[in-house]
C-alpha cells in the first residue's frame, strides 16, 4: 500500500508547513457515488442512491450560495474562448456531492473524461471538531492527527484512488513530477505537481488561495497548483503547464478548473500592493483590481484566468465560490485573522487518474 503524504499547510499569508508521511487504511474499497440535492431549509443532504456525479444543480436550490460577480471577467478577451466564472443567478454545472461522508464541488468540464477524477472539498463530511469541523485536510493546522488521517482516507475512498501526495507549500512556482519512483516519505518544497501515474491523487491545500486542477484527457496527464497571489504572480500555473507538456500533454486539449478561493469582494489589498503587482505582471492586469478612493480589491481567480489565457489555455472553468464569505462551507485564513482566531482548517483540491 502506498502511503498518503502531506507537507502540511498553507494559508492566505505566509505558508506554514510540516512534513509527515503515514500508512493509510485500505483505500481500494468500491465506492458508490451519490449526488446530494440540498433544500434551502434543510440541514442534511438527500442522496439519490444511484451514481450521478455529473448532475447539474441550480445555485438557488443549494444550501451553499455560490458567490461570483457578474462583471468579474468582462475584461477577458472573448476571442480566446475562455469559460467565464458563473454568477450565482445562473445554473451551474458543478455538483455538490456526498460520497461516504465528504461533501465537495466538482467542475463539469473537468468531469468529461471518465479516467480523471477530482474534487474540491468543502468543510463538510469529515470527523474533525471545533475550529476544524469537519473535513480538515492539513496536519499543520493544530487539529488531531487521527482525525485528519480519517478525513483524507475518506476523500481517497470516495475518489477510488490509492495514494495522496501533497507538498511543503511555500507560495512559489516550483513544480514536481510524481512518478513510480516517488519517495512518499520525502516532502520537498513545491506548489505544483504533475503525473501520469494511475491511482495517485495530487492534492493542494488551501484556505483562501486558489486550487487549480489541470487535465489533458488525451495524453493521460494531470496537474495541480496551489496559487495564492505570490504563486500566481510568479507563474505557478505556467510552470505546471510546461511540466505537463514535457509529459506529452497538448495545450489545446488542456482543461483547467479553478476551485473555491477568496473572491474579489472579500479580498481587500493596499494601494501599494496594486502598484507592485501590476508592475511585475507579464500582461496588463489593472482590470483585476477594483479601486475606490484609498481602497482596492484584488480578483485572484480573475487574474488566474487571465494568466492561463496568456499561456494559451482555452478551456477554463472557474467555480466562483468565495471561501472567505462562505463560512458555513469553507475554511478561510483571512476570515480567521479578522476575528482574531488562532486555528483554521484547510480544504483541498484533488485530482487523480483511474484505469479506463
DSSP letter string, 58-89 = EGGGSSSPPP--TTTTTTS-GGG-PPPPPPTT
pLDDT (0 to 100) of residue 34:
24
Quick one: cell of 205?
491545500
pLDDT (0 to 100) of residue 235:
98
Rounded to whole angstroms, what are the CA distances from 122 to 155, 221, 241, 256, 269? Answer: 11, 25, 26, 19, 25
Local confidence pLDDT in tens for the 356 residues of the chain: 444 444 333 333 323 333 233 223 332 222 222 222 222 222 322 222 222 233 222 222 222 222 233 333 333 333 233 343 443 222 233 444 444 489 999 999 999 999 999 999 999 999 999 999 999 999 889 999 999 989 999 999 999 999 999 899 999 999 999 999 998 777 799 999 999 999 999 999 999 999 999 999 999 999 999 999 999 999 999 999 999 999 999 999 999 999 999 999 999 999 999 999 999 999 999 999 999 999 999 999 999 999 999 999 999 999 999 999 999 999 999 999 999 988 999 999 999 999 87
Which residues neighbour 143 within 8 Å (Cβ) at sequence distance 6 or greater?
128, 132, 136, 343, 345
CA 351 to CA 214: how far, in whole Å? 8
Strands 347-353 and 295-298: unpaired
Return the H-helix or E-strand segment holding 317.
Answer: strand 315-318
CA 14 to CA 103: how far, in whole Å? 28
Asked whether the beta carbons of 353 and 200 are under 8 A apart, the reply is yes
Rounded to whole angstroms, what are the CA distances from 211 to 11, 186, 347? Answer: 12, 22, 9
pLDDT (0 to 100) of residue 63:
26
Which residues neighbour 292 within 8 Å (Cβ) at sequence distance 6 or greater?
none
Domains and CATH numbers, the chain: 4-23+94-250+327-353 (3.60.140.10)
CA 266 to CA 45: how far, in whole Å? 28
CA 352 to CA 162: how far, in whole Å? 10
pLDDT (0 to 100) of residue 325:
98
CA 267 to CA 53: how far, in whole Å? 32
CA 68 to CA 71: how far, in whole Å? 9
CA 60 to CA 44: how far, in whole Å? 16
Environment class of residue 189 by beta-carbon count within 10 Å: exposed (0-12), middle (13-18) or buried (19+)? Answer: middle
CA 122 to CA 330: how far, in whole Å? 5
Angle between helices 236-246 and 300-310 (to 10 degrees): 40
Reference 128, options 137, 115, 118, 119; nearest CA is: 137
pLDDT (0 to 100) of residue 160:
96
Amino acid at each position: 500500500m502506498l502511503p498518503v503524504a502531506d507537507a502540511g499547510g498553507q494559508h492566505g499569508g505566509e505558508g506554514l508547513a510540516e512534513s509527515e508521511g503515514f500508512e493509510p487504511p485500505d483505500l481500494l474499497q468500491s465506492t458508490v457515488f451519490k449526488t446530494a440535492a440540498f433544500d434551502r431549509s434543510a440541514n442534511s443532504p438527500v442522496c439519490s442512491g444511484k451514481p450521478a456525479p455529473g448532475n447539474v444543480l441550480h445555485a438557488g436550490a443549494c444550501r451553499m450560495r455560490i458567490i461570483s460577480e457578474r462583471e468579474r471577467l468582462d475584461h477577458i478577451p472573448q476571442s480566446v474562448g475562455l469559460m467565464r466564472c458563473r454568477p450565482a443567478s445562473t445554473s451551474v454545472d458543478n455538483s455538490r456531492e456526498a460520497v461516504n461522508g465528504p461533501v465537495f464541488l466538482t467542475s463539469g468540464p473537468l468531469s468529461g473524461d471518465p479516467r480523471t477524477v477530482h474534487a474540491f472539498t468543502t468543510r463538510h463530511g469529515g470527523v474533525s471538531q471545533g475550529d476544524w469541523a469537519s473535513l480538515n485536510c492539513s496536519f499543520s493546522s493544530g487539529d488531531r492527527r487521527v482525525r485528519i488521517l480519517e478525513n483524507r482516507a475518506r476523500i481517497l475512498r470516495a475518489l477510488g484512488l490509492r495514494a495522496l501526495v501533497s507538498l511543503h507549500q511555500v507560495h512559489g512556482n516550483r513544480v514536481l513530477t510524481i512518478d513510480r519512483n516517488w519517495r512518499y516519505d520525502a516532502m520537498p518544497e513545491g506548489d505544483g505537481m504533475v503525473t501520469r501515474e494511475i491511482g495517485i491523487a495530487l492534492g493542494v491545500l488551501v484556505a483562501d488561495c486558489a486550487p487549480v486542477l489541470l487535465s489533458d484527457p488525451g495524453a493521460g496527464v494531470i496537474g495541480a497548483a496551489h496559487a495564492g497571489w505570490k504563486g500566481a504572480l510568479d507563474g505557478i500555473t505556467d510552470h505546471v503547464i510546461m511540466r505537463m507538456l514535457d509529459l506529452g500533454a497538448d495545450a489545446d486539449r488542456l482543461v483547467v478548473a479553478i476551485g473555491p478561493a477568496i473572491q474579489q469582494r472579500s479580498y481587500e489589498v493596499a494601494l501599494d500592493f496594486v502598484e507592485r503587482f501590476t508592475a511585475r505582471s507579464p500582461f496588463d492586469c489593472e482590470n483585476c483590481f477594483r479601486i475606490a478612493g484609498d481602497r482596492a480589491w484584488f480578483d485572484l481567480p480573475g487574474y488566474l484566468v487571465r494568466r492561463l489565457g496568456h499561456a494559451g489555455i482555452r478551456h477554463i472553468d472557474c467555480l466562483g465560490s468565495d471561501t472567505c464569505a462562505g463560512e458555513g462551507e469553507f475554511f478561510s485564513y483571512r476570515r480567521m485573522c479578522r476575528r482574531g482566531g488562532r486555528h483554521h482548517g484547510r480544504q483541498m483540491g484533488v485530482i487523480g487518474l483511474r484505469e479506463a
